[in-house]
Amino acid sequence: MVKLFWRGFTGHDSLSEHIKEKRKSLKENLDQVRESHLSIKKIIQKSFYMRYLNGTAFLNHHFIKLAFLESWVKIVPSDRRNKIFSLLEDKLNSYARSKGELKLTIPFICIDCRKID
- Enclosing domain of residue 74: 2-115
**Tens of pLDDT, residues 74-101:** 878 889 889 988 988 998 999 999 999 9
- The average pLDDT across 5-16 equals 57
Q: One-letter amino acid identity for 44? A: I
From the list 90, 87, 86, the residue with the least C-alpha distance to 102 is 90
Q: Which residues contact 35 (CB under 8 A, 6 or more apart)?
A: none
Q: Give yes or no for residue 26 having a pLDDT over 50.
A: yes
Q: Which residues contact 27 (CB under 8 A, 6 or more apart)?
A: none
pLDDT for res 14: 63
Domain count, the chain: 1
Q: pTM for this one?
A: 0.74
